[in-house]
Structure 1
Amino acid sequence: MDIQGKVALVTGGATRVGKAITLMLAGAGANVVINYNRSAQAAAETEAEARALGVDAFAIQCDVSDWTAVQRMARAAIERFGGVDILVNSASDFTQTPVPTTEMDAWHRVTRISIDGTFYVTNALIPSMQARGGGAIVNIIDLSAWQPWRRFTAHAVGKAGMLALTRQFALELAPTIRVNALASGPVLPPDNHPQESIERVANRTLLKRWGTPADAANAVRYLIEADFVTGSVLVVDGGEQLT
């Protein structure tokens, strides 16, 4: 798919890696819909940066775990641009969920964003993509889809669910819509991450360093443009998976 002139929606597209993906798409010539939930100021800044690249951009608030809100977002995107060609499901919640627990709120919040949110947004935009002749979807996961992470049970289950949805959607939507996943490794430390933790993570990779948000964004671009790739997972982790 040629990104130039297309319309892309990025969930969680206002901050961190989602922002890098949004600006990559804008730089490649796509008009962008920037989904956010609570990051209104960051969304406005990302929208302005995208517009400065010469495309149309618009930020829209939506909790992707809310089906009714997702339907409203889809309608707004279609009314603004006539449809969507590219979808990147990047929204996530990195809250810890230790086991056992008596508090279920975190479990439900994390899994509803990753699993329900990915399903809801994709489901809402499929008819628009089909009406426009096809599309490309990329789901952002990480190594926890295969490897358990202590204290992050909901996160790992959510990413594994997104991986399953990637394959299922690829099967269901072929041949007009391609669906792939990016499994991103350490490309951007969490806010206020201690330096010793940053160094420890770097040493877990074969390349002994962190990547950058641009590494993830460029991998997303490949998956969008690669017309003979669907149902696949591209791992961009500096070799961390092998260690």
Structure 2
Amino acid sequence: MELKGKNAIVTGASLGIGSAIALDLAKSGANVAINYRKHSEEANAICAEIHKMGQKAIAVQADVASFKDAQTMVDKVVAEFGSVDILVNNAGVNRDAVIWKMTEEQWDDCLAINLKGYFNYCRAVAPLMKEQGSGKIVNVTSINGMRGKFGQTNYSAAKAGIIGLTKALARELAKSNVNCNAIAPGLIETEMMAALPEDVKQKSLADIVLGRMGKPEEVAWLVTFLCSEKSRHITGECIKVDGGQYI
């Protein structure tokens, strides 16, 4: 197994894309720490699935927007697993509104989770990866961070910020043999997407040249590749997984 003996953290891993990523990393041999904020039952169920594969798994409740919580979780993972070899930042929220109706709370909440949360975990693992001279960081952004979307100035700004963070981080950690990349999904079949109004979904589907929404595992497969040695000469990239939606 490509990732045998590697230890991973996946934020927002109790549902949707995050849970698919956690399970696929485990299928490739990694031990996985599941970050969650609310869905403890689902997080523990993912851990149980990973245990069945023969890998280690722990679920840690932590608010990704909290600098202190991020450091505490990383410390717990090091104590349990011995190291952090892989970080996948995935946790995110929508707080949609057109800008003339957007509240300060909607803006701050979206940026705190979708951008600061990524900084918090990158900041916590960077010294560890520098010291061990290796590591893989994958940040899940969105095609809307590349093109913008009506009603999502906060979300689009945060997701664009993730791309800039990833590229700068790739430069800073390259000498320590740490690869940093981003993945930009389009419309993916998740709980978040299921909550969208049907007319909004149909409009987005019309833009997808492959004619369907993506599956969470289709994002996870790329994450696992970027966390493997097969991607060792790829860093600072933002790769779309959108069925041609961005074209």
TM-score interval (norm. to shorter): over 0.9
Work out whether 1:235 is the aligned partner of 2:243.
no
Q: CA deviation at 1:197?
A: 4.2
Work out whether 1:127 is the aligned partner of 2:136.
no
Task: Calculate the TM-score normalised by the size of structure 1.
Answer: 0.94
Work out whether 1:55 is the aligned partner of 2:55.
yes
Instruction: Report if aligned partners of 2:185, 2:240 keep a CA contact under 8 Å in 1.
Output: yes
Instruction: Give the AA of the match of 1:209.
Output: R
Instruction: Report if aligned partners of 2:97, 2:151 keep a CA contact under 8 Å in 1.
Output: yes
Q: List aligned pairs for 1:96-115, cutoff 5 A.
A: 96-101=96-101, 103-115=103-115
Instruction: Report if aligned partners of 1:63, 1:70 keep a CA contact under 8 Å in 2.
Output: yes
Distance 2:132 2:205 in 1: 43
Distance 1:174 1:192 in 2: 40
Match for residue 200 of structure 1?
Answer: 203
Instruction: Report if aligned partners of 2:2, 2:29 keep a CA contact under 8 Å in 1.
Output: no
Q: List aligned pairs for 1:23-42, cutoff 5 A.
A: 23-42=23-42
Partner of 1:234: helix, strand, or coil?
A: strand
Q: List aligned pairs for 1:83-98, cutoff 5 A.
A: 83-98=83-98
Task: Calculate the TM-score normalised by the size of structure 2.
Answer: 0.93
Instruction: Report if aligned partners of 1:13, 1:91 keep a CA contact under 8 Å in 2.
Output: yes
Q: List aligned pairs for 1:169-184, cutoff 5 A.
A: 169-175=169-175, 176-184=177-185
Instruction: Give the AA of the match of 1:129.
Output: M
Distance 1:197 1:143 in 2: 16
Q: CA deviation at 1:223?
A: 1.5
Match for residue 221 of structure 1?
Answer: 224
> Could you give the per-residue CA deviations for residues 2-30 of structure 1, whole angstroms, max 9, x where no partner exists?
41210000010111000000000011110
Instruction: Give the AA of the match of 1:234.
Output: I
Work out whether 1:152 is the aligned partner of 2:152.
yes
Rate the CA distance shift 1:205–1:169 in 2: closer, same or farther, 3 A.
same
Instruction: Report if aligned partners of 1:78, 1:128 keep a CA contact under 8 Å in 2.
Output: no
Partner of 2:214: helix, strand, or coil?
A: coil
Instruction: Give the AA of the match of 2:7.
Output: V
Distance 1:200 1:79 in 2: 47
Q: CA deviation at 1:203?
A: 2.2
Match for residue 81 of structure 1?
Answer: 81
Partner of 2:194: helix, strand, or coil?
A: coil
Gaps of 5+ in 1: none
Q: CA deviation at 1:185?
A: 1.2
Distance 1:54 1:199 in 2: 41
Instruction: Report if aligned partners of 1:187, 1:215 keep a CA contact under 8 Å in 2.
Output: no
Partner of 1:241: helix, strand, or coil?
A: coil
RMSD: 1.6
Moved more, 47-56 or 135-144: 47-56
Work out whether 1:18 is the aligned partner of 2:6.
no
Match for residue 211 of structure 1?
Answer: 214
> Could you give the per-residue CA deviations for residues 126-146 of structure 1, whole angstroms, max 9, x where no partner exists?
122223331000000111112
Gaps of 5+ in 2: none
Instruction: Report if aligned partners of 2:135, 2:179 keep a CA contact under 8 Å in 1.
Output: yes
Moved more, 193-202 or 54-63: 193-202
Q: Identity over the aligned pairs, expressed in percent?
A: 33
Q: CA deviation at 1:169?
A: 0.2
Partner of 1:18: helix, strand, or coil?
A: helix
Rate the CA distance shift 1:83–1:168 in 2: closer, same or farther, 3 A.
same
